Amino acid sequence: MKTHSLLMPLDMHVHLRDGEMLQNVAKLTSYTFSGAVVMPNLVPPVKTKEQLLAYKERIMLACGLEIKEDEFDEFFDDVGLSGGDFEPFMTLFYDNYSEDFLDEVREDIFGIKLYPAGITTNSEGGVSDFDVEAMRETLETMARMDIPLLVHGETDGFVMDREAEFMSIYELLASNFPDLKIVMEHITTKAAVEMLDKYPNLYATITVQHLLITLDDVAGGMLQPHLFCKPIAKRPEDREALLNVALNAHPKVMFGSDSAPHPQHAKESCGCAAGVFTAPIALQVLCELFDKHGKLDNLQSFVSDNAQSIYGICPEFKEVILEERPFTVPAKYGEVVPMYAGETIGWSIEDVL
Ligand code: NCD
Ligand code: ZN
Ligand code: ZN
């Protein structure tokens, strides 16, 4: 049976939520990934050092880990876990933070996530006016301290054009702050792919679903709430452009699942919440997809190596062995319906070392 091994997979954009949902989903990510960039769009959003450290601790506990400190060594031995099994890379919700504040949090954060106000789940407190001068102190300080800016890039225009319309804002940011590392999160369009080669400081994450589906799969037949997310899946030519850079291991492109769990009642309702839940199936589906295109050898770059170079990180060792063996996706994980629920996919997780 065909197998494929991935070293230190990284999910560069994930929603782990909080409370009961965190307990339900955290281990699904920490099981197969060495690290994941954790989004700060909680209610209220993560905006202070105290909130961030407390959230990190809740994540570690939910993953069955503990904050890595010498005094916990015995704890790790007792429960047979290593503190290096999984690292949550913590982010703050963007605000025009002062230099003093950034100085204080620098060691604890991986990046700062910018949301345009009201454009996606729990983003009400985001940026409503992209005024470069108002943002200058914060963004220049971030550049100097090498804090990446992660961006949900959509305007409030017509839903199919929102990402393409946001390109001028990416250009504004990239050209005004050439030393700032800017990550275009969960890109869905050819327009965004084309931006990658235009500015040296622009990078991107791509989800599983945007490599596989178009708007037709969401709304072309019976409406599929579990495939509805922001930004919405676009046209076939957009999917082709995304596939092209992912399959060919474009060095500025990283895997970010944007796995965004919502309880079943919030998805299958009048007023469907945006978000596709892919954490438990992402690597298997990516293996199947890359294999189908004869590009399995490039998957390692997409799911780990590119992110390691872009962010300058060196994750703890983890090896995930996948096998070309059918896996029937569970109907639900707790209260959450995953992508491909009840369907059979071609690859399975065989072992995690
Ligand atoms: C995300 C969520 O549910 O938090 N939803 C989504 O559709 N992608 C928010 C986000 O990443 O924009
Ligand atoms: Zn987003
Ligand atoms: Zn997201």
The pLDDT score that the predictor gives to residue 316 is 86
The pLDDT score that the predictor gives to residue 75 is 45
Where in the chain are the domains?
13-32+39-250+261-277
Mean pLDDT to the nearest integer, 43-48: 98
The pLDDT score that the predictor gives to residue 1 is 87
Mean pLDDT to the nearest integer, 191-207: 98
Q: How confident is the model at residue 301 (pLDDT cuts 50, 70, 90)?
A: very high
Nearest CA to ligand 1 atom 5: 275
Is the pLDDT score of 72 beyond 70? no
Is the pLDDT score of 78 beyond 60? no
Q: Which ligand is nearest to the CA of 230?
A: 1
- 18 C-alpha to ligand 1 centroid (Å): 14
152 lines ligand 1 (CB under 6 A): yes
274 lines ligand 1 (CB under 6 A): yes
Q: How confident is the model at residue 83 (pLDDT cuts 50, 70, 90)?
A: very low
Tell me the whole-structure pTM to 2 decimals: 0.95
Mean pLDDT to the nearest integer, 235-258: 98
Is the pLDDT score of 82 beyond 60? no
The residue that leads in pLDDT, 181 or 72, is 181
121 lines ligand 1 (CB under 6 A): yes
The pLDDT score that the predictor gives to residue 66 is 72
Nearest ligand 1 atom to the CA of 261 is 3
Catalytic residue at 297?
A: no
Catalytic residue of the set 11, 85, 238, 258: 258
Nearest CA to ligand 1 atom 11: 258
Of the chain, the percentage scoring pLDDT greater than 90 comes to 93
Is the pLDDT score of 48 beyond 80? yes
Is the pLDDT score of 84 beyond 80? no
What pLDDT digit, counting tens, does each position of 93-118 carry? 999 999 999 999 999 999 999 999 99
- Structure tokens given for 273: 């919440």
Of the chain, the percentage scoring pLDDT greater than 70 comes to 95
Is the pLDDT score of 229 beyond 60? yes
Is the pLDDT score of 238 beyond 90? yes
CATH, range 13-32+39-250+261-277 = 3.20.20.140
